[in-house]
Amino acid sequence: MDGPSEEDLIQSARSGDKLAYEQLLRPNLPSAARLARVLLGGPGEAEDAVQEAAIRGWKKLDNLRAGAKFQPWFLGIVVRQVRSIQRDRWWTTIRLPELSSLEPGAQDKALQGEDLRRAISKLPPSQREAVLMHFYLDQRIQDVATSLGLSQAAVKSRINRALRQLRVSVATKDLL
């Protein structure tokens, strides 16, 4: 393996090495930003959330257990930051695609995506987070559990309930 291990980087970051922390963050920013953007809706707000989460992570590195992976821990901070923003936020908006500007085939796809986004947005927050982390970010169940501070059984339960609701909300035959 090239370069320092994740554990080494965590150790260096804990001792104040910001470059080491940056090396830890860099590969995880795309996942974190995508998750925040799906949960919050807007790119700028999502990046602000990731930035704030990164700063909080820096201050709380000592809370990362020895041997624990960085990504689930950091995504957990992102999720908590998103929740904080959502608590403070007083409105949301859903931007619809400009259908007239799309090719006929693309219109169907856009509609499918929009319907799925609406269905996802109707899930309870705890289920939405679990589903997105598992199916959208490809996180393992045990990592989702670490991020959300839940047991693996609880995560599975939330995902199963969400899938049941998604099957009802979305005409799966047509949309998925």
Partner 1 sequence: MNAFEQELREALRSAYDFGSEYPHPLLITRIYAELERPVPQHHRREWVGGAAAAALAVVVVVTLLWFSFQPRVSTPISSGPPPSGPEAGTAAILANNHLVYLTPGDIQPYWDLALADPPDLKVSHGYAGLGHRIAATPDGALIYALPARDMNGGSELAVVATQSSAERLIQLPDHNATARYGAVSVGPSGDAWIVGSVDKHIEIVRFHRQEGTITSWSGRDMAHWVPQGPVGGDYQIYEVQVTNDEQRVYYSYTGGLLSFAGMDWVDISGQRATTCTPPAADQACIKGLAGFLVRGNDVFITTASDQPTGAIDQYGLDGTLKDHIELGLLSGFLEDFALGPDRNHIYFFGSCGYSGGMAALDLTSRTANVIIHAQPAYSTLTNHPCGQSSAFVSDTLIALGRVSALLPGYGAGQILFVDSSNGRLVRSVPVTSEPIAVVAIH
**Which residues would be at the binding site for partner 1 (CB under 8 A)?**
18, 21-22, 25-26, 29-30, 33-34, 37-38, 42-44, 46-48, 50-51, 54-55, 58, 89-93, 109, 112-114, 116-117, 120, 132, 135-136, 138, 163, 166-167, 172, 175-176
Q: For residues 137 and 145, which CB has a smaller minimum distance to partner 1 in the complex?
A: 137
C-alpha count within 13 angstroms, C-beta hemisphere, residue 66: 0
Q: For residues 67 and 91, which CB has a smaller minimum distance to partner 1 in the complex?
A: 91
Nearest distance from C-beta of residue 96 to partner 1, angstroms? 9
Nearest distance from C-beta of residue 45 to partner 1, angstroms? 8
Nearest to 170 by CA among 96, 107, 114, 119: 119
Rounded distance between C-alpha atoms, residue 105 and residue 27, angstroms: 35
User: Torsions phi, psi of 99, nearest 5?
Assistant: -65, -35
Q: For residues 67 and 105, which CB has a smaller minimum distance to partner 1 in the complex?
A: 105
Nearest distance from C-beta of residue 109 to partner 1, angstroms? 7
Q: For residues 67 and 95, which CB has a smaller minimum distance to partner 1 in the complex?
A: 95
